[in-house]
Structure formats: structure tokens, C-alpha cells
Structure 1
Amino acid sequence: MTSAPAERRLLAILLRLVTALALTAMFAIVKLADAHGVTLFESLFYRQALALPLVLGVVGWGPGFRSVRTQRPGAHVWRTVLGMTGMALNFLTFTLLPIAEATVILFTVPIFATILSAVVLKEPVGPHRWSAVILGFAGVLIVVQPGGSTLPPEGIAVGLVAATVVSAINITLRQIGRTESATTTVFWFTILSALPFGALMPVLGKAHDGWTFGLLFALGLMGGLAQLTSTASLRLAPVSVVLPIDYSSLVWSALIGWLVFSTVPSPHLWLGAPLIIASGLYIVYREQKLHRERTAGAVATD
């Protein structure tokens, strides 16, 4: 397999930078909206509903709506249930914790994905990745400082559960991706979540002032932008190239936390975060390396 041209990799990296910034902005908006009386349900609805025109536009102007036909509706329904659960837990994490600390805790997704792959899918996980998992959890302990942390324990608990659910989503997407394109998966996730939430809005929605509705509009815009740029980056370059860029969100979250919320990350965060990031990067590196070896072995035996 030939590697992606350098210019495509550069574009993929730039798109992933946009993804990291858009996601950080989205989570900051969720935190601001919560302070203005927006419920978790409303944040979820506006995140999906306002992203819907973007997704429809991309599908309509791109591969066309025939391309999103699926023979696996049950898989998309399950992905939507998992996806909305993970999104709700992510949003709740950012309302309970300072934005930088919430970001770092969600960096544990590759760690939990490795554990779930071994326990649920029975995939072989060698000593290299188990060592990375232990390193990552050491970083988590440094950040959260059990027994002496000023972070609310419920926020830490919700964040770790959120990371576990998101790791399950990633495994589900990997399985769905064997037969479905990324555009098809994004399309059905958006449709299947926006429509039922929209049906409940007359009952659960509330009136807000113009400033708050502006926040909700920005929330949907940032979420849709992140979803599209993330998908596009993975079409242009391998995961091993674009995933390290995701960790730039720590810089954005620390900056936004300081400028918008007047919070400064604790020294423990800067000590533990590198361990969590190193753990995640090494897990991805090992997975890519093992995938290449299996692919080369399959080709050799053909």
C-alpha cells in the first residue's frame, strides 16, 4: 500500500487541528450554556439539529443520498444510542469539571478501548499495550489526586465513564466501517438522533434570550464542523498521522479555560497529562504496527 502524498497528509493535519479547536470550543460553549440555564437535553438537541444542514449539504453535494442506503439499520441505531450516551456524558463532564481537566480525563479513551478490545472482543493484547495502559492510569492518578484533589469526585467519575463509552463507540465504528462509509455513518447518526430529540423539544425545551440561542447555534455549528473535518482528515491520512494532533486540544482548553472561565490548570495536570498522552500515542502506534504486520502476512500467504 502506498502512503498518502505529503500534501494530503499536511491537509489532513490541518483539518485535524480544526477538529481539535472546534471540539474544544464546542465543549466550552456547553459549559457556558449550562451557566445560562440550558439543560443537557437541549444542548444535545441543538448539537445534532444544527449540524444536520451541514451533514445533508455534504452528502447532497458529494456522493449523493443514494450513497447512504444501508443494509444495517440495527447497527446504526445501536451506534446512535451509544453515540448520544457518550455525548451526554462528555457534555456533563465539562459542566462538572474545569475544561482542561475534563479534556485530559477524556484523553483516556485509547486506554479504555484497549481494555474493551481484550475483555469484550477477546482481541490479543500484548505486554507493550498493557504497559501503556498502566502508564496511562498512573497519569490519571496524578491528575485526579485521589484523596487530596480539589476536583469534584462526581465529575471525575462521569469523565471516566464517558471515556469508556466513547471507547466502545470507537470499537463499534470500526466494526460498522467494514461495510459502511464514514459519510453513511455520520448521516444516520445525525438523522436518528436529531429527529427523536426534535419530537421531544416541545415538551422538554425552554425559552432563552438571544445571547443564549446564539450560544446554542454556535454549539451546533462547532459540533458539525468537528464531525466533518474529523471524517475528512481520516480519508486523507492514516490514523497514526492525524491522531496525535487531537492532543493539541489540551493547549486550546487551557487557553480557553484561562480566557473565558478564569481557571488555571493545576500543576498535577501538567505532570499527569504527558503520561496519558504518551500512553494513548503508544497504543495507537502498536495497533498500527500490528495491523501492518498482519496485512503483510496476509499478502504473503495469498
Structure 2
Amino acid sequence: MNPTSERRLLAILLRLSNALSLTAMFAIVKIATAHGVTLFENVFYRQLFALPLVAGLVVAGPGIRSVKTRRPWAHVWRTGLGMVGMGLNFTTYTLLPIAEATVILFTVPIFATILSALVLKEPVGRHRCGAVILGFIGVLIVVQPGGSTLSGKGVAVGLMASIAVSAINITLRQIGRTESATTTVFWFTIMSALPMALLMPFFGKAHDAPTYGLLIALGLLGGLSQLTSTASLRLAPVSVVLPIDYSSLIWSALAGWLLFATLPSPHLWLGAPLIIASGLYIVYREHKLHLEQTASAVAND
């Protein structure tokens, strides 16, 4: 096996670990909420207990000096978006069955394509437009407007979460031109955990030991998901690792069955393949366009 193949295999395994840790994290959010943990507390403990993992990665890797930045306001903006996105994600999983929430959030590539056209003025050809339409057809099949048992509020919050995550992805793409992924993760964790810690005396509550155990696991899994996601993208192209994210549907369906005694609806299995196909095709087209632009730049050099 050549080094490139080994890096891609490791990237895929890391991305699979990311999908599993995210599913477990969202399941814990759902359980913790049932134990009386508020949204504010879930977000705070997610960041607080992720901080040792993130800081440890920086210290053991490039060193603390590597996180020095000349773009503090870009990180402030990214942190604000990240907190909104995390809050909406967590709320989606508390309002919807875990498998349905996961599928709704698969619409991120669809909204990222729309925002890229509107905000970055990137050209979107007929292929990606067709993929966006296909994805929305899949969403309509899953949510069954007018005849669904799903919470309308949950679906609305889930779509808002997808839009927020899409905006985060675009922001990360812009910040990534000058900042490393490790630097971005570090400042996001610091800038969110510290201000929230100051507000905990006003918004925090006392919980029993098992609930605090859930919150510690929530933070550790959140930190693990960030690190494995970042590492996978360093080892292989997005087009290689991103399809692994869709394995979350399998893990969330199992978690829903084992932990919450819920099974995905038949409509989910009809609509999810369309949403997944839409996302994969968008990634494929972006990868193909990137290769064409690179080849053109090399030819003109």
C-alpha cells in the first residue's frame, strides 16, 4: 500500500470515528435534556470539557505559539456563528427523533451551495442546481408537510441549523486561507467557553452525579469529533472523507432504536437517499471543478 493510500485509509477511519462520536454526542444531549439540563448548559459543558483535548492537541503538536493570530475578529465572528449553529443543532435533536434530525442536517451541502452563490457570488451550474432541487424533494418526502407526525418546530429549527452550519463552512473556508484548522478550533473553544463560564452562576443549575457524567462525556465526545474531523481533512480531500459522514444515518437509527425505542419512518428511507445523493453529487462537482481550475492554472503558469 502506497503512502497516499495509507493516508486516505486513516482519514476514512478518522471520519468514521467522527460520525460515531457525533451520533453519541447528540444522543447524550437528548438524554441530558430529559434529565433537566438546559440548552445553555449543554453548550457550555460541550465546550468546557472539549477544552483539555483541544489544548492538549495544540501543546503536543505545533505548540502554543502556533495559535497566534492576526485575525481576532474573524475568530469572533466564527465563534458567534458556531455557538448559534451548535444551539440550533442541539435543539433539533431534542425536538425530533434522532434519525430524522440527522437526515434534516444532511441538507448542509445544499444550503452551502445556495449561500456560496448568494454570498460569495460563486457560479452554480445546472448540475449543482439540479442536485439542490433533488435534495429539497428528499426533504419534502421526509417531513411530509401537512401530514407528518414530526414536530413542525423541530423541522424548522433543523433547517435553520443547516443554514447556520453552511454559513460556518463558508466562514471556515475564508479563514482557512490564512489560519490553520488547529488555530481555528482552539480559538473557537476558548472564545466560547470562557464567556459562558462567567454566565454559569446565573444560568447554571445543580445536577446529580450521573447527569454530570453525561455532561463530561458530552464535552469529550464533542472535542473528539472536532479533532477527528480536522485530522481527516488534513489527510485526504473532502471528496474522499465527506461521504463517510452519511454513515451517521445508520448509527442514529441504531441509537434511536436502542436508547429511545423509536424507529425511523418509512418516509425517511425514501427521502434520505435523495438528500444523500444530492450532497454527494454537490461534493463531486466541487471536486471536479477544483481539479479543472488547478489544471488550468498550471497550464497558464
Q: Residue in 1 aligned with 2:298?
A: 299
Q: Residue in 2 aligned with 1:287?
A: 286
Q: CA deviation at 1:202?
A: 1.2
Structure 2 Cα separation of the partners of residues 48 and 224 of structure 1:
8
Amino acid at match of 1:63: P
Q: Does 1:222 align with 2:207?
A: no
Q: CA deviation at 1:6?
A: 0.6
Q: Is the 8 A contact 1:4 1:237 kept in 2?
A: no
Structure 2 Cα separation of the partners of residues 300 and 176 of structure 1:
28
Q: Does 1:157 align with 2:153?
A: no
Q: CA deviation at 1:164?
A: 0.4
Q: Residue in 2 aligned with 1:8?
A: 7
Structure 1 Cα separation of the partners of residues 45 and 259 of structure 2:
22
Amino acid at match of 2:146: G
Q: What SS does the corresponding residue of 1:70 show, helix, strand or coil?
A: coil
Structure 2 Cα separation of the partners of residues 67 and 301 of structure 1:
35
**Matches for 1:131-146 after TM superposition, within 5 Å:** 131-146=130-145
Percent identity of equivalent pairs: 80
Q: Residue in 2 aligned with 1:26?
A: 25
Q: Residue in 2 aligned with 1:127?
A: 126
Structure 2 Cα separation of the partners of residues 292 and 168 of structure 1:
24
Q: CA deviation at 1:39?
A: 0.1
- Describe the superposition over 1:164-199 as per-residue Cα deviations: whole angstroms up to 9, x where unpaired: 010000000000000000000000000000000111
Q: Residue in 1 aligned with 2:232?
A: 233
Structure 1 Cα separation of the partners of residues 298 and 171 of structure 2:
26
Amino acid at match of 1:197: M
- Describe the superposition over 1:58-102 as per-residue Cα deviations: whole angstroms up to 9, x where unpaired: 000100011110000000000000000000000000000000000
Structure 2 Cα separation of the partners of residues 56 and 116 of structure 1:
32
Distance 1:67 1:110, change over 3 A: same
Structure 2 Cα separation of the partners of residues 156 and 9 of structure 1:
35
Amino acid at match of 1:237: A
Structure 2 Cα separation of the partners of residues 152 and 84 of structure 1:
23
Distance 1:142 1:121, change over 3 A: same
Structure 2 Cα separation of the partners of residues 63 and 29 of structure 1:
32
Equivalenced residue count is 300
Structure 2 Cα separation of the partners of residues 42 and 190 of structure 1:
15
Question: What is the aligned-residue RMSD (CA, Å)?
Answer: 0.8
Structure 2 Cα separation of the partners of residues 135 and 178 of structure 1:
32
Q: What SS does the corresponding residue of 1:248 show, helix, strand or coil?
A: helix
Q: CA deviation at 1:211?
A: 0.8
Q: Residue in 2 aligned with 1:207?
A: 206
Structure 2 Cα separation of the partners of residues 189 and 293 of structure 1:
33
Q: Does 1:171 align with 2:194?
A: no
Amino acid at match of 1:88: G
In the superposition, the TM-score normalised over structure 2's length comes to 0.99
Q: Is the 8 A contact 1:240 1:285 kept in 2?
A: yes
Runs of at least 5 residues in structure 1 that lack an aligned partner in the other structure:
none
Structure 2 Cα separation of the partners of residues 299 and 198 of structure 1:
50
Q: Residue in 1 aligned with 2:244?
A: 245
Q: CA deviation at 1:257?
A: 0.3
Q: Residue in 2 aligned with 1:108?
A: 107
Structure 2 Cα separation of the partners of residues 232 and 8 of structure 1:
11
Q: Residue in 2 aligned with 1:273?
A: 272
Structure 2 Cα separation of the partners of residues 100 and 184 of structure 1:
32
Amino acid at match of 1:79: R
Q: CA deviation at 1:4?
A: 6.5
Q: Does 1:88 align with 2:87?
A: yes
Amino acid at match of 2:165: V
Amino acid at match of 2:127: H
Structure 2 Cα separation of the partners of residues 211 and 298 of structure 1:
57
Q: CA deviation at 1:23?
A: 0.2
Q: Residue in 1 aligned with 2:260?
A: 261
Amino acid at match of 2:75: H
Q: Residue in 1 aligned with 2:50?
A: 51
Q: Does 1:196 align with 2:192?
A: no
Structure 1 Cα separation of the partners of residues 132 and 233 of structure 2:
25
Structure 2 Cα separation of the partners of residues 152 and 109 of structure 1:
20
